[in-house]
Amino acid sequence: MLYPYGFSYFDPTIFILIPAVLLTLYAQSKVNSSFAKYLRVPARKGYSGAQVARMILDQNGLQDIPVEMATGHLSDHYDPTKRVLRLSGNVYQGRSIASVSVAAHEAGHAIQHSRGYVPLSVRNIVFPVAKFGSSAAWGFIIIGLLIPAFGVLMDIGILLFAAAVVFQIITLPVEFNASRRALALLESNGFIYTDEARGAKSVLNAAALTYVAAMASGISQLIRLILIRNRRR
């Protein structure tokens, strides 16, 4: 039920989101602080992020995948549709532990793609539906909430939102696997010294935490929407 609060209404299901919101804030703070910290720590072998990515790709038979510099902060990604690896300026040009760690992680995604890593393949299939769901879901949900006669639209919105949550869940093993590959590649190829692995792991773990937080936020919101729908019925 909705409880009056001044001229608006208070929805108690909002409390479901609080743990996920706190985790998201912590994860964002952690990734920013960890990246900033190790961006200032030079990797003693002296390789740049672009060089590390290029060498990892070449060693795995992926000479046809270009490494490009992207705009924006922490905008690093591998695009499986265009088969191109893009690194932000600090990573592409940087020679820090953070730079080579992020570059190796993104190269890990390219290796996943080339070897048909199943979770990545599933994520790529789900992505179009999840993208549409994340953008269209709230329109259906709001109309269903405001106009009881169109309550079925809320069900459709929840299903679309659920597709986006499924995408977030599938993303976790993909990201964790890419990070494990990155650490192994950095050490086995001599891109970092053994005592620098701790810093690389810190950067990659902090980044992974943001995906955990996104999944927790999505699941919490989905549960909340289902409770609101059931209560209205």
Active-site choice (106, 175, 187, 196): 106
- Report long-range pairs for 141-145 (Cβ below 8 Å, ≥24 apart): 141/225, 144/229, 145/228, 145/232
Question: How many other CB atoms are found less than 10 A from the CB of residue 8?
Answer: 8
Distance CA 91, CA 99 (A): 4
77-79 and 84-88 strand pairing: antiparallel
In 56-211, beta strands by DSSP E: 67-70, 77-79, 84-88
For 135, 183, 221, the CA distances from 72, given in Å and listed in that order, are 22, 25, 28
Tokens 């929805």 belong to which residue?
Answer: 11
3-state secondary structure of 198: helix
- Is 106 noted as a catalytic residue in this protein? yes
* Residues that are catalytic: 106
